[in-house]
């Protein structure tokens, strides 16, 4: 090391530090890496923060080193040492003091970042520096992060692929308020699209908060998205259209609209007025508006007339290139609707003089004149149609108004159904030119669908079914009593309820024979109950046009890790498919107020061979149908368990809270979240608890569901239905949305309930996606909801739970049907279900080795006897049953047989058909749940 450098650094000699600038660069260039390492040691010492003298020496030395590297062009030689010094600054507090002064390590980081990013075109340097530099975005110093944003936007020009692995912290910083960083997103999107797709909704909501330059960066990103996947932006057109009013952003928005209009032009019909205003106020955007109108104008005759009229009106003030575009789009629209052309041809010719026009303009004018001549030649003609002896005489108009069959000379018959809407439309089009007034009447009538048609469109529904037969005809004894669904009494009062969205597809949920139908009407009345006979069996339909808004069920979030306790003698039994009380693995437990004295934890199957019957539903509706027990408390109860220290994320300094991104997202979409969850809750129950369990170094999410009915004979009054999920991302996302739907204001990550849910997600480390990315992503789709429903069905959830339409809650079977409780409670009373079942003789014999026995389920006993003698074998105690599950046959969804597992035996039984099998499985599941509920009380 050079003598002067060594003296200054060893003695921290401020008086000699200024002499370093008199030393030639070539004499010290070889020592710079060693000097940087020595500076790192000094800056990391404990006395550095308290000594102004040492800080000044280090600052001068860094300035000398960076100037030497810049002048000698040796950044690649010393990049590793510089990045190491930069990384050491992360170990210190970088936040400004109360006097708004930067700490010394912030100044060091700023100088090093400036030196490194002046060489942003050197890929080897950027490869070392970018992973470290990005960490400074969330270190609590607003000024430093904003400066870094400018450097990163330079680096993104040639190094987008190096930034793409760090898209998550970059997007988090943008959403948190560092809007200048949005400049790097278009470059990253080119090389890595999916991570940005997850945050589109949150990024679009930032547009009103950004300055013009930052808005342009975001709009440039959205333009790339529109080219690649325009469907992602369809729901955000209202937010994008607000930028049409600004001269700075209007051009970018129109380019986005142009890309999207090519895929789905109908979306832009309502924005024609805004686009006309933009074109008139800013003629430079007339070409873009013309392109969009040329696409939208081909949708219908009315739209075509509106668009052609505007395009023709702009010809007089258009320059040559713009006039060519206008004529081309007029030609495109007139090709679709030739009858429009004669009306506007004279106006076109007067505004564009052919002799003075260019060859391109003259070409379009000649084409338009020729098309107009063809259209005019058909204005006076008589067309004979044999429509039941009626001759239609057409006095004026164009051939486009005639039915296709008429133009080709073929005969067209009008059936007796011409009174219907579709036939009205045909008749209106055929006779539409008998007179202008008559023409208008017919055209108007074709746009007025009948009431029946409107209801048919709005009540599109899908059915979710569980192959449970208990409600249909369980047995002769079971069906002899009052219908199962009688307990769901009709409501006596009427409630006028309004629709939240313009369109809302209905959904019909069927579980064990009970069908819940939600349909979307503008302002309609109470839930009504009807009974209809289908295929000879009573099926109760609860039609909920819109329900009374009730609180979303309370969630109990439990961010804990449960360590696996390996038993010394593992049980050979297969996993259960019905919830069974087992001791909790947790080191500590807490009890939520709605479910007091939880004595045991239910364990449900973690895997199984059951295949699900997915008859999904369209979950895109946004109607009012939220549900929960009226007796439940208003506050969300959070139980937090102690997490092992090794699993906690430890950060020396928290990021600066420029703005809570989760809260910002929820503020923008609060109404959407509430409407969405009200629909989802009719289809899906919401977990009461979420627990993270670790077994053999693998983490799993365990969900626990509570009965909201809390009736006298409730199956889950003291326990919970527990299942391991294969879709933690969807469930945790729905749990967050449920929390927000219950809250009156937007939630933030500082809320204890959200924080607990975030801890669950962070511990799980699923999909390598942050909690912010999860909750700001698109809501779970109808397909996602079908996956969750199939998962619940595989776990036999719908055997013991169902949705109660009038009470708008998810309750257990006995809470919804208390009149059925006696069969499960009384010993020696009427059997719940009985009949012949075939029992497999030996475990490993072929399926033809069966013997027929007569089984009876009554109270807490399952008894059986042979057919030849009346001797009854030792009954099976329901309390001894570990689990019950159907057996899938050859991968099909209809089970042929089912298994009963006890502590020492396995029974393989087969009913007469799959329907009877489902009845037996459901009855045994309910009896088993009742037995466990009884045990938990004692």
- What is the C-alpha to C-alpha distance for residues 884 and 362, in angstroms, rounded to an integer? 82
Mean model confidence pLDDT for the chain? 71
Q: Higher-confidence residue: 880 or 517?
A: 880
Half-sphere exposure of 389 (CA within 13 A, CB side): 0
Question: In the structure, what pLDDT confidence band is assigned to residue 256 with cuts at 50, 70 and 90?
Answer: very high
Residue 785: strand pairing partners: none
- Of 486, 521, 544, the one marking the end of a domain is 544
Q: How confident is the model at residue 926, as a pLDDT?
A: 78
What's the CA dihedral at 417, 419, 421, 424 to 10 degrees? 100
For the chain, percent of residues with pLDDT exceeding 90:
30
The least confident of 264-268, 630-634, 820-824 is 630-634
Looking at the predicted structure, is the pLDDT value of residue 618 above 50? no
Q: Where are the alpha helices (DSSP H) in 73-166?
A: 75-88, 104-117, 123-133, 142-163
Tell me which of 836 and 557 has the higher pLDDT: 836
Domain boundary, last residue among 511, 544, 577:
544
Per-residue pLDDT for 375 more than 80?
yes
Instruction: Check pLDDT > 50 for residue 625.
Output: no
Task: Indicate whether 642 pLDDT > 60.
Answer: no
Mean pLDDT of all residues in 195-204: 90
Domain membership of residue 595 (yes or no) is no
Residue 562 pLDDT greater than 50, yes or no: no
The DSSP element (H or E) to which 266 belongs, if any, is: none
Residue 277 included in any domain: no
How confident is the model over 153-180, as pLDDT tens digits?
A: 999 988 999 999 999 999 999 988 899 9
pLDDT at 750 over 90: no
Mean pLDDT of 655-665: 66
The DSSP element (H or E) to which 72 belongs, if any, is helix 52-72
CATH code where residue 849 lies: 2.30.29.30
**CA 832 and chain centroid, separation:** 43
Q: Is residue 795 part of a domain?
A: no
Question: Residue 906 domain-assigned?
Answer: yes
Residue 187 domain-assigned?
A: no
Q: Which residues pair with 853 in a beta bridge?
A: 837, 866
Q: What is the sign, positive or negative, of the torsion defined by CA atoms of 780, 783, 787, 788?
A: positive
147 found inside a domain:
no
Express as a percent the part of the chain with pLDDT over 70. Answer: 62
Q: Quick one: pLDDT at residue 824? A: 61
**pLDDT tens-place string over residues 312-365:** 999 988 888 899 999 999 999 999 999 998 999 889 888 887 666 788 888 888
Out of 5-19, 559-573, 696-710, 819-833, which region has the weakest mean confidence (pLDDT)? 559-573
The residue ranking higher by pLDDT, 786 or 638, is: 786
How sure is the predictor about 573, in pLDDT bands with cuts at 50, 70 and 90? very low
User: Residues 102-121: what's their mean pLDDT?
Assistant: 92
Specify if 292 maps to a domain.
Answer: no
Q: Is residue 874 in some structural domain? A: yes
Which residue range(s) make up the domain with 904? 826-937
Tens digits of per-residue pLDDT, 377-386?
765 443 334 3
pLDDT, average across residues 537-563: 41
User: Is the pLDDT confidence value at 435 over 80?
Assistant: no
501 or 758: which leads in pLDDT: 758
> Of 487, 514, 544, which one is at a domain's C-terminal end?
544
**What are φ and ψ of residue 529, in 5° steps?**
-115, 130
Q: Is 485 helix (H, G, I), strand (E, B) or coil?
A: helix
Q: How far apart are CA 887 and CA 779, in angstroms?
A: 34
- Contacts for 855 with CB less than 8 Å, ≥ 6 apart: 834, 835, 836, 837, 862, 863, 864, 909, 920
The helices-and-strands tally (H runs, E runs) of the chain is: 38, 22
Among 401-415, 813-827, 862-876, 914-928, the least confident range: 401-415
| Count of the separate structural domains present in the chain | 2
Given a cut of 90, is residue 917 above it in pLDDT?
no
C-alpha to C-alpha distance for 183 and 218, rounded to whole angstroms: 7
Q: Please give the full DSSP string across 180-236, using - where no structure is assigned.
A: GGGGGHHHHHHH--HHHHTTHHHHHTTGGGS-HHHHHHHHHHHHHHHHH-GGGGGGG
């Amino acid at each position: 090391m050079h003598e002067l450098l060594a003296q200054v650094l060893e003695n921290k000699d401020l008086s000699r530090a200024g002499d370093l600038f008199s030393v030639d660069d070539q004499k010290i260039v070889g020592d710079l890496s060693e000097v940087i390492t020595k500076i790192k040691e000094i800056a990391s010492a404990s006395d550095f923060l308290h000594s102004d003298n040492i800080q000044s020496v280090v600052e001068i030395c860094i300035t000398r080193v960076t100037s030497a590297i810049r002048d000698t062009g040796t950044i690649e030689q010393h990049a590793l040492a510089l990045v190491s010094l930069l990384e050491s600054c992360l170990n210190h507090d970088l936040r400004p003091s109360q006097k708004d002064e930067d700490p010394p390590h912030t100044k060091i980081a700023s100088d090093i970042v400036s030196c490194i990013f002046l060489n942003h075109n050197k890929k080897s340097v950027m490869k070392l520096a970018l992973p470290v530099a990005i960490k400074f975005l969330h270190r609590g110093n607003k000024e430093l992060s904003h400066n870094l944003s400018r450097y990163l936007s330079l680096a993104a020009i040639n190094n987008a692929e190096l930034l793409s692995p760090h898209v998550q912290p970059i997007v988090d910083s943008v959403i948190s308020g560092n809007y200048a960083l949005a400049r790097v997103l278009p470059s990253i999107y080119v090389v890595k699209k999916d991570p940005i797709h997850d945050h589109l909704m949150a990024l679009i909501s930032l547009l009103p908060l950004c300055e013009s330059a930052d808005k342009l960066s975001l709009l440039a990103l959205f333009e790339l998205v529109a080219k690649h996947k325009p469907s992602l932006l369809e729901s955000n057109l209202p937010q994008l259209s607000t930028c049409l009013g600004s001269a700075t952003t209007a051009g970018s928005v129109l380019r986005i609209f142009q890309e999207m209009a090519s895929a789905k032009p109908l979306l832009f019909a309502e924005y024609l007025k805004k686009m006309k205003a933009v074109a008139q106020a800013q003629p430079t955007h007339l070409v873009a508006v013309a392109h969009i109108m040329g696409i939208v104008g081909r949708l219908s005759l009315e739209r075509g007339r509106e668009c052609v009229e505007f395009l023709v009106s702009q010809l007089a003030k258009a320059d040559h290139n713009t006039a060519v575009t206008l004529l081309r789009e007029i030609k495109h629209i007139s090709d679709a609707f030739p009858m429009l052309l004669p009306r506007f041809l004279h106006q076109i010719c007067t505004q564009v003089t052919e002799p003075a026009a260019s060859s391109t303009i003259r070409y379009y004018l000649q084409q338009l004149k020729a098309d107009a001549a063809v259209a005019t030649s058909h204005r006076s003609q008589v067309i004979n149609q044999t429509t039941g002896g009626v001759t239609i005489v057409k006095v004026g108009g164009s051939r486009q108004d005639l039915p296709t069959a008429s133009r080709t000379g073929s005969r067209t018959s009008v059936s007796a159904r011409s009174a219907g809407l579709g036939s009205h439309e045909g008749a209106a089009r055929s006779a539409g030119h008998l007179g202008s007034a008559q023409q208008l009447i017919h055209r108007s009538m074709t746009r007025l669908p009948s009431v029946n048609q409107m209801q048919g469109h709005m009540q599109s529904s899908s059915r979710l079914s569980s192959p449970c037969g208990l409600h249909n005809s369980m047995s002769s004894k079971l069906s002899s009593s009052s219908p199962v669904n009688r307990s769901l009494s009709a409501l006596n009062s009427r409630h006028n309820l309004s629709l939240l969205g313009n369109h809302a597809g209905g959904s019909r949920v069927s579980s064990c024979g009970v069908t819940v139908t939600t349909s979307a009407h503008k302002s309609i009345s109470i839930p009504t109950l009807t009974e209809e006979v289908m295929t000879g069996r009573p099926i109760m339909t609860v039609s909920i046009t819109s329900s009374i808004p009730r609180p979303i069920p309370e969630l109990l979030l439990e961010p804990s890790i449960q360590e696996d306790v390996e038993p010394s003698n593992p049980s050979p039994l297969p996993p259960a498919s019905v919830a069974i009380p087992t001791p909790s693995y947790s080191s500590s437990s807490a009890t939520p107020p709605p479910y007091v004295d939880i004595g045991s934890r239910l364990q449900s199957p973690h895997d199984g061979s059951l295949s699900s019957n997915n008859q999904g539903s369209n979950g895109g509706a946004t109607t009012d149908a939220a549900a929960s027990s009226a007796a439940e408390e208003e506050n969300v109860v959070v139980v937090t368990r102690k997490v092992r220290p090794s699993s906690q994320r430890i950060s020396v300094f928290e990021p600066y809270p420029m703005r809570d991104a989760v809260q910002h997202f929820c503020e923008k979409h609060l109404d959407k979240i509430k409407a969405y969850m009200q629909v989802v809750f009719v289809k899906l129950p919401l977990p009461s608890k979420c627990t993270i369990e670790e077994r053999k170094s693998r983490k799993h999410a365990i969900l626990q569901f509570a009965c909201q009915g809390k009736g006298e004979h409730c199956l889950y009054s003291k326990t919970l239905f527990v299942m391991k999920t294969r879709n933690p991302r969807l469930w945790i996302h729905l749990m967050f949305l449920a929390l927000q739907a219950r809250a009156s204001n937007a939630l933030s990550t500082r809320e204890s309930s959200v924080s607990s849910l975030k801890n669950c997600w962070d511990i799980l480390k699923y999909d390598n996606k942050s909690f912010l990315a999860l909750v700001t992503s698109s809501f779970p789709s109808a397909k996602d909801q079908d996956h969750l429903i199939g998962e619940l069905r595989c776990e036999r959830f719908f055997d013991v739970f169902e949705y109660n339409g009038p009470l708008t809650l998810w309750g257990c079977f006995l809470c919804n049907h208390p009149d059925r409780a006696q069969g499960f409670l009384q010993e020696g009373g009427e059997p719940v279900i009985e009949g012949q079942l075939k029992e497999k003789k030996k475990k490993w014999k072929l399926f033809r080795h069966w013997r027929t026995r007569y089984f009876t389920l009554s109270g807490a006993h399952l008894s059986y006897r042979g057919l030849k003698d009346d001797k009854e074998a030792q009954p099976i105690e329901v309390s001894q049953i570990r689990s019950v599950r159907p057996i899938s046959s050859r991968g099909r969804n209809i089970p042929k047989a089912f298994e009963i597992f006890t502590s020492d035996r396995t029974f393989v039984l087969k009913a007469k058909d799959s329907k009877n099998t489902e009845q037996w499985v459901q009855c045994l599941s309910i009896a088993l749940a009742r037995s466990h509920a009884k045990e938990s009380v004692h």
